[in-house]
Chains A and B, each alone.
Chain A
Amino acid sequence: MAAVSGINKMYGVCLHAVRVTAGLRAARLLQHRAFRVGAVHQQQPFDSSLEKPQFPGASAEFIDNLEFIQPNVISGIPIYRVMDRQGNIINPSQDPQGRISFYMTNYGEEGTHIGSAAALDPNDIVFGQYREAGVLMYRGFPLDMFMAQCYANADDLGKGRQMPVHYGSKDLNFVTISSPLATQIPQAAGAAYAVKRENMNRAVICYFGEGAASEGDAHAGFNFSATLECPLIFFCRNNGYAISTPTNEQYRGDGIAARGPGYGMMSIRVDGNDVFAVYNATKEARRRAVAENQPFLIEAMTYRIGHHSTSDDSSAYRSVDEVNYWDKQDHPISRLRHYMTARSWWSEDDERSWRKQSRKMVMEAFEKAEKRLKPSPELLFTDVYQEMTPNLDKQRQSMWRHVQQYKEHYPLDLYDK
């Protein structure tokens, strides 16, 4: 019984909160919960006269009943939302009053991009995984530059070196994407630490999926950011699948949010298809991360409506019905549209004409990017180091000699000089 009451001390308020309507209490980022992480990480002063445990590694009470803490015996961490699936505000005090202004398609996860990006400062540094194009677009990255990266043409800021969607922008503080998963997570912790030392009201946000959260780098990043007190938001897009792997093959605990308290980190789970919930949570997390120099973990529940990539056909591992549900019944764009049309800020005519205009813009950007030259072959050899090294220079010269010798096999007119 002591064990149960011990657990209740830790999770008591949580049990109570689950019984009330989700979305009302959860809005306060676990401040009033018994996840008193602030108390746990400070080591108590050693005092051998007390009957309390004196182990430096934990701040706790003794019990004399043998009982294991069962994972998942309590309900999962509740999901904060502002709108219902029809776009109606549940709790008017949570309505953020129209700071959102732009949409972009990363099919099904648009709410996570736009809601979080809108809540940040332009100076905040973004470390992404690869499914956050909406964040970059929100910050103003032009369509032409997206296309240039995807086509690896001579306009690409990345000089045509990476696969599509590995975009980056120094001006927009969006660190270039890399393919290995979760490597950005400890890097974000390091960047946040450096930014903290600069003391200029900057935060760092780090996006990743629920699959990448299984990587060792995720554990490293969470632990470092908490122990080193970094102003950092970890934003997990839990979209149900890592390619074909569903979440019940990815983890057995209560998702990613439940791991946060284990690291001593403030944590929340939000409805990722509710752009206002994402906005509110990110806004508050950012404010406190900078003010208090501690990391925040936001797990945004959503659904990956599209395939993992153009190399994937998800009908091999999930039903069309499942996909249709999310597309038709719980889509972030639809929910926001219902909210806006209910206030006469948007109409069916607006919808039709904006879709048409968007399609036109995108197709024009496609055609333009397609016609552009590819980057110069010189760029194969630069930026390996800051300086060109003799070894690379030799390889470069050797390449040109070869290409000149066999020029009929190399379409040099398609490449920039």
Chain B
Amino acid sequence: MAAAARFFTRGAHSKLSLVAVGGGGGAHCSFGAALLNASPTCNSRTKTQRRHAAHFTFQPDPVPTQYGPTQKMNLFQSITSALDNTLAADPTAVIFGEDVAFGGVFRCTVGLRDKYGKDRVFNTPLCEQGIVGFGIGAAVAGATAIAEIQFADYIYPAFDQIVNEAAKYRYRSGNLFDCGNLTIRAPWGCVGHGSLYHSQSPEAFFAHCPGIKVVIPRSPVQAKGLLLSCIADQNPCIFFEPKILYRAAVEQVPMESYTIPLSQAEVLEEGSDVTLVAWGTQACADERKENNLRGVKGAKPSPHDPCAEGSGKHGPRETGGVMRGHRSTDHPALGCGYRLQVGGENWPFAHQPRGPNNRRLCF
């Protein structure tokens, strides 16, 4: 996690450009960007750093004022709020999955069944391929279908339905049919004690698949707005919710409905030396103190071409490099998509090791 930051210690006055980026391949990804500080010196590694446990401190954003009155909510409460707004406004909306009726194993659907009825918030049998297949069919028939997969680690039985069916429904039917009304939600990412099967970040598998959108929020305010955007979006969306943030992330979140655009990344800080890309929990990592990196402003690349489109003065061409920080396996990782796209678009030779100003490209 801090490894990405450790690479970057060259030169004086290194300014990082921090960018939240969409996924490679065909997926739309919406991310938050990490805050990094770059120090004038390169001696950050002389001090030994001792970690006692995987941890970070969530930094809430300033209270948003443009969406109406707010209320203190953690991440799972912001999800509940989004679902509540949706069920209230859209009579066709239904929420289903394992254990959602009593409130869900992460409390994301607490109170909704009592408020909206058992035909709208209901348990399904324990079968992920069924949950997603059912969701696709409901969406095709015109309902707003919100499917919950209990952990992203268990999404694989539904992989065929997602990749072969949901993603291709509109294209293969010549736009006669589509399942744009489908949103799949799943708890995502490492939590410290989850081990192999309660910690996975499988976004890379889906980012490769055109026809779906993959969205990962970094905070409660982002989560509610992005989830509402996914539900409204007329393409099937997968919304991964960083489970470590369910209780740890607390912000003032607007109570009314609002949306955050899916196809734009979010800039957290601007800079001119390197473009740093991160999503989900990684975007919350406060690595300033640990890595002596100076925070800089970032650009706002588009989801498909993280570093060229719309980067303006903050893309890697301008800053001198791209780093990606994420919490998935590096086997290869989602960042490889960036590498090729950055390589293809911004540099005449994909293997060119150094960018302008003789800066090394880091991946």
A residues with CB within 8 A of B: 125, 127, 156-159, 161-162, 166, 168-170, 175-176, 178, 180, 183, 185-195, 197-198, 204, 216-217, 219-221, 223-224, 227-228, 382-386, 389-392, 394
- For A219, the chain B residues whose CB sits under 8 A away are 127
Indicate if the CB atoms of B168 and A183 lie closer than 8 Å. no
Interface residues of B in 285-322 (CB under 8 A from A): 302-305, 309
Q: Bound state CA distance, A383 and B28, in angstroms?
A: 15
- For B139, the chain A residues whose CB sits under 8 A away are 190
Interface residues of B in 2-30 (CB under 8 A from A): 26, 28
Q: Bound state CA distance, A197 and B175, in angstroms?
A: 25
Q: Bound state CA distance, A219 and B130, in angstroms?
A: 9
Q: Known contacts A158-B172, A383-B171; is A187 also within 8 Å of B136 by CB?
A: yes
Chain A residue nearest to B178 (CB atoms) is: A386
Chain A residue nearest to B133 (CB atoms) is: A186
Q: Bound state CA distance, A390 and B264, in angstroms?
A: 12
Q: Residue B141 contacts which of A170, A191, A220 (CB distance < 8 angstroms)?
A: A191
Indicate if the CB atoms of B164 and A186 lie closer than 8 Å. no
Give A269 Cβ to nearest chain B Cβ, in Å: 25
Whether B156 sits at the interface, judged by CB under 8 Å, is no
Indicate if the CB atoms of B175 and A224 lie closer than 8 Å. no
Indicate if the CB atoms of B165 and A190 lie closer than 8 Å. no
Whether B44 sits at the interface, judged by CB under 8 Å, is no
Whether B176 sits at the interface, judged by CB under 8 Å, is yes
Q: Residue B174 contacts which of A188, A204, A383 (CB distance < 8 angstroms)?
A: A383
Whether B92 sits at the interface, judged by CB under 8 Å, is yes
- For B135, the chain A residues whose CB sits under 8 A away are 190
Q: Bound state CA distance, A122 and B210, in angstroms?
A: 34
Q: Residue B137 contacts which of A187, A197, A383 (CB distance < 8 angstroms)?
A: A187
B residues with CB within 8 A of A: 26, 28, 92, 94, 119, 122, 124-125, 127, 129-130, 132-143, 145, 157, 160-161, 164-165, 168-178, 180, 210-211, 213, 234-235, 263, 302-305, 309
Indicate if the CB atoms of A180 and B140 lie closer than 8 Å. no
Q: Residue A384 contacts which of B134, B141, B173, B211 (CB distance < 8 angstroms)?
A: B211
Given A125-B141, A176-B172, 11 other A-B residues pairs in contact with their CB atoms under 8 A:
A157-B176, A176-B174, A178-B168, A186-B129, A187-B137, A190-B133, A190-B138, A217-B160, A220-B130, A224-B124, A228-B134
Q: Bound state CA distance, A167 and B161, in angstroms?
A: 19
Indicate if the CB atoms of B143 and A194 lie closer than 8 Å. yes
Indicate if the CB atoms of B309 and A176 lie closer than 8 Å. no
- For B177, the chain A residues whose CB sits under 8 A away are 168, 170, 175-176
- For A166, the chain B residues whose CB sits under 8 A away are 172
- For A127, the chain B residues whose CB sits under 8 A away are 137
Indicate if the CB atoms of B171 and A175 lie closer than 8 Å. no
Residue among A187, A195, A221, A223 facing the most chain B CB atoms (10 A cut-off): A187
Q: Known contacts A158-B174, A176-B172, A385-B235; is A220 also within 8 Å of B122 by CB?
A: no
- For A187, the chain B residues whose CB sits under 8 A away are 133-134, 136-137, 140, 165
Q: Bound state CA distance, A159 and B170, in angstroms?
A: 11
- For A191, the chain B residues whose CB sits under 8 A away are 137-138, 140-141
Residue among B94, B136, B174 facing the most chain A CB atoms (10 A cut-off): B174
Q: Bound state CA distance, A228 and B138, in angstroms?
A: 12
Q: Bound state CA distance, A361 and B237, in angstroms?
A: 45
Indicate if the CB atoms of A190 and B176 lie closer than 8 Å. no
Q: Known contacts A166-B172, A187-B140; is A178 also within 8 Å of B164 by CB?
A: yes
Q: Known contacts A178-B164, A180-B164, A223-B130; is A190 also within 8 Å of B174 by CB?
A: no
- Cβ contacts A to B, 30 pairs, < 8 Å: A157-B176, A166-B172, A176-B173, A176-B177, A178-B164, A180-B165, A185-B133, A186-B132, A187-B133, A190-B136, A190-B139, A192-B137, A192-B141, A217-B161, A220-B130, A220-B134, A221-B133, A223-B130, A224-B124, A228-B134, A383-B171, A383-B175, A384-B26, A384-B210, A385-B170, A385-B210, A389-B28, A389-B263, A390-B304, A390-B305
- For A385, the chain B residues whose CB sits under 8 A away are 170, 210-211, 213, 235
Q: Residue A180 contacts which of B137, B160, B309 (CB distance < 8 angstroms)?
A: B160
8 cross-chain pairs, A with B, having the tightest CB-CB distances, nearest first = A190-B137, A186-B133, A220-B130, A391-B304, A187-B137, A176-B173, A190-B134, A190-B138
Give B159 Cβ to nearest chain A Cβ, in Å: 11
Give B320 Cβ to nearest chain A Cβ, in Å: 24
Q: Bound state CA distance, A71 and B174, in angstroms?
A: 46
- For A162, the chain B residues whose CB sits under 8 A away are 172
Indicate if the CB atoms of B129 and A194 lie closer than 8 Å. no
Q: Known contacts A168-B176, A383-B170; is A228 also within 8 Å of B124 by CB?
A: yes
